[in-house]
């Protein structure tokens, strides 16, 4: 499976120290160069060191990507969606409007909570670590779906 990740998910993972886990969940994890630019130097270096594959955006992608753009999506979001669609990858996105647009276009999409659950299911993090991630996301102000966080907290019996 190939994953294509957006900026919001990388920021979510960074806030709990989980950037290095995503590449352990798939054959390959792709990050567009425009996403790397949004992440800043320190996070971009961590992404590179963790084994993500950096993809240079081609000028040929811009016009077809803009056809996927809505008022709620940035050009970067549209490029990420376009690329995931073209290579038939799973999009990893925490941004609500991007997730909705991906679903409209038949692109399979998951978010940071899915990454966390997958990491736990594969023994990469413990249930206690996942509980700490949930607490970290709540305290950091990351915008993740409260209902899903509550469901996970209950299933894991988080304190």
For domain 2-112, say whether CATH 3.40.50.1010 is its number.
Answer: yes
Domain range list for the chain? 2-112, 113-156
> What are the tens digits of pLDDT across the range 67-87?
999 999 999 999 999 999 999
Residue 159, pLDDT score? 82
Sign for the CA dihedral angle at 139, 142, 143, 148 comes to: negative
pLDDT tens-digit map of 114-129: 999 999 999 999 999 9
Rounded distance, CA 71 to CA 120, Å? 36
Q: pLDDT at residue 61 above 90?
A: yes
The alpha-helical segments, DSSP class H, found in the chain are 7-15, 33-39, 41-49, 59-66, 75-87, 96-104, 112-121, 127-140, 146-156
pLDDT digits (tens, 9 = 90+) for 21-42: 999 999 999 999 999 999 999 9
């Amino acid at each position: 499976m190939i994953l294509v990740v957006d900026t919001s998910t990388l920021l979510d993972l960074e806030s709990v120290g989980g950037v290095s886990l995503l590449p352990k969940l798939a054959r390959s994890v792709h990050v567009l160069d425009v996403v790397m630019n949004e992440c800043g130097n320190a996070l971009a270096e961590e992404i590179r060191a963790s084994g993500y594959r950096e993809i240079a955006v081609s000028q040929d992608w811009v016009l077809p990507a803009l056809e996927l753009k809505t008022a709620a999506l940035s050009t970067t979001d549209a490029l990420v969606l376009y690329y995931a669609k073209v290579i038939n990858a799973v999009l990893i996105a925490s941004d609500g409007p991007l997730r909705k647009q991906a679903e409209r276009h038949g692109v399979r999409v998951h978010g940071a909570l899915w990454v966390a659950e997958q990491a736990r299911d594969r023994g990469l993090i413990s249930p206690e670590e996942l509980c700490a991630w949930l607490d970290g996301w709540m305290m950091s102000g990351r915008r993740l779906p409260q209902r899903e966080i509550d469901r996970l907290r209950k299933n894991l019996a988080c304190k």
